Structure 1
Amino acid sequence: MQPFDPVTARLVVAVSRYGSIGRAAEHENIAPSAVSRRISELEARLGVALFDRSLQGARLTPAGEVYVAGCREILRQVADLSTQMVDFSAGTRGSLRLACTSSSLSGRLPELLAAYAQSHPGIGLDIQEMSAALALAAMDDGQADIAFVADNNDVARFETEVFEDDNVLVLCSPDHPLAARLQSGKPISFDAVAEHEVVGIHQSGALDRLLNEAAARSGRALGERVRVETFPSLVRMVEAGFGIGFLRSTSLHLLAGTDVISVRLSDAWASRKLLSVRRGSSPLSRPIREFLALARKR
């Protein structure tokens, strides 16, 4: 058996996560041909196929699933060992690796990171924006120290803390039929607004999933007049009168300078929280401890 190669192991894990050699190569900053060659050489040494390759991507074989699980465990142990070593120094140097969703970077996190960077100039910040699923996968693989995700994700295997409120708001323009009710400032139910045309946001996001689940429970389909890809675009289309919109409270700053009216949804499912997530089994280095302490104060 050849010695364990951590570089190839990281690439195998990345391909399994993204389901694509090209996307894994882009994330790992390496040529796709190099990723393909390393995997082919590894499969030749092991005598088994780790992936079923097709035009649709790369899917793990049963042998590949076992190999990736082992790689993840080893890579986690390596990451934890590096974290433990930080505490042998004075704690003035090191790194903090964060996996962040877009909504978390729209709230108070950027200001918190700026304050942390100012008080910890020797700590390198590795901040990656990604979907919640990829952020939690990065935690599983030992590639992030802390992840920030909404509480409607499966985080049972992690230690979590509430980072900030992330409630769902409904928006409309001042001349919309709902404007008078929203101007009262009183929370309103989803059923009371769902009959109006909606400015939709990109599919498969956390907010999109929440809204579609709520619509399914109420037995109605949301009538979308237009669909956009970003929340700034959503606010502008709502302001222009194309329908109502929904936004997380972490993105409330996007309404600054507009006349868009907003109010919180009263439904229990709309009372969301943004969580900070970490693996309970991983050691707490001084940079991580001090960041978490600062997050709890602010």
Structure 2
Amino acid sequence: MRDIDPVSIRLFLATLEEGSIARAAAREAIVPSAVSKRISEMEAELKVPLLDRSVKGVHPTPAGQALAHHARNLLQGMDRMQREMAGYVEGVRGLIKVLASVTSLSGELPADIMRFRTERPQIEIDVEERTTPAIYRGVRDGLADVGIASEFASHEGLQVFPYRRYALAAVLPAGHALAEAAQLAYAQLLADDLVELSRDSGISQVFDDAARAARTSRTVRARVSSFETICTLVARGMGVGVVPLYLKAAKEKSLGLRFVPLADDWAQPRSFIAVRDYDTLPVAAQAFVAHLRESAAGGGD
């Protein structure tokens, strides 16, 4: 592929995303004939057709689909290289892309990040919240250097390190019949309406399995994007929920709630630090992973 340049690759991907050479050309501010010529040159270089062309638009051939996968990885790597090199010009030595779960961002991770940035102000950290399954997929696909997420999803193909363990608790209105219990089983909540995280969160499948094990159904009245919102809706009478116990200090008195630890064997999960391969990470990302591991070890579970 010595004669295929990044511009041609970008135009090819734009054509796939738009489903039309004309729309891709308009998006990229170039004439359609130039886009068509670039793609034809790529097909000649690779000796395979990349697009099926019809009056309704264009669609990738199997070879085109394979090329698109590699092309996206290539452009992501080039974009990251350019941003990191720009950082050196500006005196910033390193840029780390991090995907983190709502659980991690509600816990100790923000403080760990800020301590790292205080110690190494020359390194920038770009954090994006994702669901646990999406975090592991993103790291596996090279969309991030580091992921921090719970054990409630497959991390096959990744190198993972233990981060922090946290306890889950039922969150109930203060006047609820179960509010004064010392511990609860998740099954005891299933008679109530539930407020949960979105269906694509890692813990959703755990709740499904727990309900099946209890041989009962559950009624989810609302699905939201954060544990803080679960607490707010429970306080407003929409049901009961499950959240990390560490939110008790901030939410119990202010919202008139009760946090009761869950006794289920899955109710003390661990978060992981996930990377594709620690040894091939940029030096800045290696330092960040080492910082998180040391911070977690120093603070206990």
Fold conserved between structures, TM > 0.5: yes
Partner in structure 2 of residue 116 of structure 1: 116
Determine if contact 2:163/2:271 at 8 Å carries over to the other structure: yes
Q: Which residue of 2 aligns with 1:287?
A: 284
Distance 1:42 1:133 in 2: 37
Q: Distance in 1 between matches of 2:198 and 2:28?
A: 33
Amino acid in the other structure paired with 2:50: V
The answer to whether the 8 A contact 2:166-2:268 is kept is: yes
Aligned to 1:3: 3
Q: Is contact 2:50–2:61 with CA below 8 Å preserved after alignment?
A: no
Taking structure 2 as the reference length, the TM-score comes to 0.72
Q: 1:12 to 1:96 in 2, by over 3 A?
A: farther
Aligned to 1:161: 161
Gaps of 5+ in 1: 23-29, 86-90
Task: State the partner residue of 2:138.
Answer: 138
Query: Could you tell me how far 1:75 is from its partner in structure 2?
Result: 6.0
From 209, 216, 227, the counterpart of 2:205:
209
Q: Deviations over 1:111-149 (max 9, x none)?
A: 111111111111122222233344334323433211112
Q: How many residues align?
A: 278
Bigger-Rg structure (1/2):
2
Deviation of residue 159 (structure 1)? 0.6
Offset at residue 7 of structure 1 (A):
6.3
The alignment status of 1:33 with 2:9, answered yes or no, reads no
2:150 maps to a residue whose letter is A
Contact 2:251 2:257 in 1 (8 A): yes
Instruction: Give SS of 2:260's match.
Output: strand
Q: Looking at both structures, which has the greater relative contact order when contacts are Cα pairs under 8 Å and sequence separation is at least 6?
A: 1
> So what's the TM-score if we normalise by structure 1?
0.73
The residue matched to 2:126 in structure 1 has which SS? Answer: strand
Summarize deviations over 1:247-275 as a string: whole Å, max 9, x none.
Answer: 13465565252331112322223332211
Query: What pairs up with 1:1-298 in 2 under 5 angstroms?
Result: 3-6=3-6, 33-34=27-28, 44=40, 45-46=42-43, 47-49=49-51, 62-71=62-71, 74=74, 93-181=93-181, 184=182, 186=183, 188-249=184-245, 255=251, 257-280=254-277, 283-298=280-295
Tell me, yes or no, if the aligned pair for 1:168 and 1:271 is still in contact at 8 Å.
yes
1:10–1:213: structure 2 CA closer, same or farther, 3 Å change rule?
A: farther
- Contact 2:199/2:223 (CA < 8 Å) preserved in 1? no
Quote the offset at 1:51 in angstroms.
11
Give the distance between the partners of 1:173 and 1:123, measured in 2 at CA. Answer: 44
Aligned to 2:88: none
> In 2 relative to 1, CA 141–208 (structure 1 residues): closer, same or farther, beyond 3 Å?
closer
> What is the rounded CA distance, in whole Å, between the counterparts of 1:223 and 1:250 in structure 2?
25
Q: 1:78 to 1:237 in 2, by over 3 A?
A: closer
1:76 and 1:140 in contact (8 A); partners too: no
Distance between the aligned counterparts of 1:11 and 1:137, measured in 2? 26
In 2: Cα distance, 1:31 partner to 1:252 partner: 54
Report SS of the residue matched to 1:121: coil
Cα RMSD, aligned residues only: 4.3
Measure how far apart 1:59 and its partner are: 8.8
- Shift in Å, 1:240: 2.9
